[in-house]
């Protein structure tokens, strides 16, 4: 047997040149970017925008957000997904993005992606989110659901496992600006509207 899980530690304030170098202008190729779109992807393009707010309601400028999502047909680009490679289009779509909050004047994270399809039949379309920052010793998981999927959301087993008065914190508002569909999703670390975080 092993000696047990290696403990988590904070990502700290200086992750950008190692984890999100191109976004911050450092001379190292990034393995992932805030733009998940690939030339072959078939599906509706969307933008996801939001801020990470601390206990005083101030936007955090040194958080890093990772997203992991299915393609528009509800398939994850991972061998554990039984639909992986099965009649697969979107072959270049990796489903993973990374964005720091330090390069936008309003400290937003902004992802360009495609709207994910429903996964596992019973789940509503969603994007998995991992949150890192200075002052966070263990990363936190949350999910983005979409306000224009009310019927699917009402039946989603994960949303239903969340107390009713907190479900709204997981649903991104839909806006349209200049033909682009934008979903707005602020992450409140604390306070009245504290975002639901999952023990994954």
Partner 1 sequence: MTTPPKPYSPRDWSSHPPIIAPDYKSTPLRGATKPLIPIRQSLSELTGPVFGQDSLGELDNDLTKNGRKDGEPLGERIIVSGKVVDELGRPQPNMLVEVWQANAAGRYVHKVDQHNAPLDPNFFGGGRCVTDDQGVYRFYSVKPGAYPWGNHPNAWRPNHIHFSLFGPSIATRLVTQMYFPGDPLLDLDPIFLSSPEKARDRLISEFDLSLTEEEFALGYRFDIVLRGPWETPMETA
Q: Which of residues 132-161 bind partner 1 (CB under 8 A)?
A: 132-141, 143, 157-158, 161
| Residue 67, φ and ψ in degrees, nearest 5 | -125, 150
Q: Is 79 exposed, middle or buried (0-12, 13-18, 19+ CB in 10 A)?
A: exposed
Residue 17 makes contact with partner 1 by CB under 8 A: yes
- Asked if 48 and 99 touch (Cβ cutoff 8 Å), the reply is no
- Asked if 100 and 24 touch (Cβ cutoff 8 Å), the reply is yes
Residue 19 makes contact with partner 1 by CB under 8 A: yes
CA–CA gap between residue 121 and residue 198 (Å, rounded): 21
Residue 162 makes contact with partner 1 by CB under 8 A: yes
Binding mask 68-107 for partner 1 (x = CB under 8 A): x-x-----xxxxxxx-x---------xxx-----------
Query: Of 78 and 180, which CB lies nearer to partner 1 in the complex structure?
Result: 78
Binding mask 170-189 for partner 1 (x = CB under 8 A): -------------------x
Alpha helices, H only, 71-160: 150-155, 157-160
Of residues 26-65, which lie at the interface with partner 1 (CB under 8 A)? 26-29, 31-32, 54-56, 60, 62
CA–CA gap between residue 121 and residue 49 (Å, rounded): 27
Residue 6 makes contact with partner 1 by CB under 8 A: yes
Q: How far is the CB of 184 from partner 1 (least distance, A)?
A: 20
Residue 16 makes contact with partner 1 by CB under 8 A: yes
């Amino acid at each position: 047997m092993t000696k047990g899980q290696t403990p988590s530690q904070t990502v700290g304030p200086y992750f950008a040149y190692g984890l999100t170098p191109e976004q911050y202008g450092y001379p190292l190729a990034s393995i992932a970017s805030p733009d998940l779109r690939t030339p072959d992807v078939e599906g509706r393009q969307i933008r996801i925008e939001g801020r990470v707010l601390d206990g005083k309601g101030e936007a955090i400028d040194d958080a890093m957000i990772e997203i992991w999502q299915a393609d528009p047909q509800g398939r994850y680009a991972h061998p554990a997904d039984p639909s992986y490679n099965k009649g697969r289009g979107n072959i270049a779509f990796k489903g993973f993005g990374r964005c720091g909050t330090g390069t936008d004047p309003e400290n937003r994270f902004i992802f360009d992606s495609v709207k994910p399809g429903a996964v596992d039949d019973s789940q509503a379309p969603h994007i998995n989110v991992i949150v890192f920052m200075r002052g966070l010793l263990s990363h936190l998981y949350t999910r983005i659901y979409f306000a224009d999927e009310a019927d699917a959301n009402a039946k989603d087993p994960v949303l239903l496992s969340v107390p009713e008065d907190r479900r709204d914190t997981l649903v991104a508002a839909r806006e349209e600006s200049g033909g682009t569909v934008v979903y707005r999703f602020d992450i409140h670390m604390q306070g009245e509207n504290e975002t639901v975080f999952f023990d994954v």
